[in-house]
Amino acid sequence: MNQKNSLGLNKCFLDLEDPFELFEKWFLEAKKKEINDPNALALGTASKDGIPAVRMVLLKGFDKNGFIFYTNLNSQKGNEIKENPKATMCFHWKSLLRQIRISGSLKQVSNETADKYYNSRAYDSRIGAWASRQSSVLNSRDSLLKTLDEFKKKYNNKEKVPRPDHWSGFNLEPSSIEFWLDGENRIHERLKYSLGKNNIWTRSLLSP
Ligand SMILES: Cc1cc2nc3c(=O)[nH]c(=O)nc-3n(C[C@H](O)[C@H](O)[C@H](O)COP(=O)(O)O)c2cc1C
């Protein structure tokens, strides 16, 4: 007989009061099983008029304060976040038949945090952050390649490429985190953690 947790869910949901702990356990399993990019997530934002947009980004850090990704602040998502910091993340780990949805509010990370991550990136990626005006219309591929070369000349010391002001990270401070497991005949298992005003997480089962 399959083991269940105290709510009658598959044992992979464990019995934790803290959703970050459960996220960490599931993420560790995804890192072992997913062929590539277990840290890839769909990021949903919306303009101030409520027009939604979604795209993939990579999770580059998480702890009890939230979930961090990095990007160009002047990109479409960057501009949307300036107008409306509410956002949502969705991980889908096909190898585990699991999904996690996280909703909350985004805050830009500190310069120190952004510098630390930026400086850990490969030289070409750091140059790319300078050369790409992410999400703006490009006249030609060649013009981008030329700009890349120009920045390589400007910052030819690989140890000293400053982080552009237009490039940083965002931390999603969650107000809810939902864990989903594929079930037979689409009778999936869903566990939602919601953050109350008292800063305490409560758990609810959701209908599939
Ligand atoms: C697997 C994957 C990971 C990606 N990771 C990032 C990322 O961490 N940061 C980023 O800015 N774009 C990333 N991208 C590109 C974005 O999906 C998107 O094309 C880009 O950020 C522009 O989005 P925007 O126009 O909505 O701002 C990734 C794309 C894929 C497919």
- Is residue 135 a part of any domain in this protein? no
Cβ of residue 101 lying under 6 Å from some atom of ligand 1: no
Beta-carbon count within 10 A of 171 CB: 21
- Is residue 61 a part of any domain in this protein? yes
Rounded to 5°, the CA angle 99-50-79 comes to 85
Beta-carbon count within 10 A of 15 CB: 12
> What phi and psi values does residue 77 have, to the nearest 5 degrees?
-65, -40
Cβ of residue 134 lying under 6 Å from some atom of ligand 1: yes
Cβ of residue 75 lying under 6 Å from some atom of ligand 1: yes
- Is residue 156 a part of any domain in this protein? no
Cβ of residue 56 lying under 6 Å from some atom of ligand 1: yes
- Is residue 105 a part of any domain in this protein? yes
The model's pTM is 0.97
Residue identifier of the C-alpha nearest atom 6 of ligand 1: 57
- Is residue 80 a part of any domain in this protein? yes
CATH code, domain with 187: 2.30.110.10
- Is residue 200 a part of any domain in this protein? yes
Written as six digits, the tokens of 52 are 């939604």
In whole angstroms, give the CA distance from residue 164 to residue 97: 39
- Is residue 159 a part of any domain in this protein? no
Q: Which domain holds residue 199?
A: 11-118+169-206
Residue identifier of the C-alpha nearest atom 17 of ligand 1: 56
Cβ of residue 69 lying under 6 Å from some atom of ligand 1: yes
> What phi and psi values does residue 139 have, to the nearest 5 degrees?
-65, -45
The residue behind tokens 């062929």 is 35
Q: Domain tally for the chain?
A: 1
133 is catalytic: no
Residue identifier of the C-alpha nearest atom 11 of ligand 1: 71
Atom of ligand 1 at shortest range from CA of 55: 17
pLDDT tens sequence across 7-36: 999 999 999 999 999 999 999 999 999 999
> What phi and psi values does residue 91 have, to the nearest 5 degrees?
-100, 140
pLDDT tens sequence across 70-129: 999 999 999 999 999 999 999 999 999 999 999 999 999 999 999 999 999 999 999 999
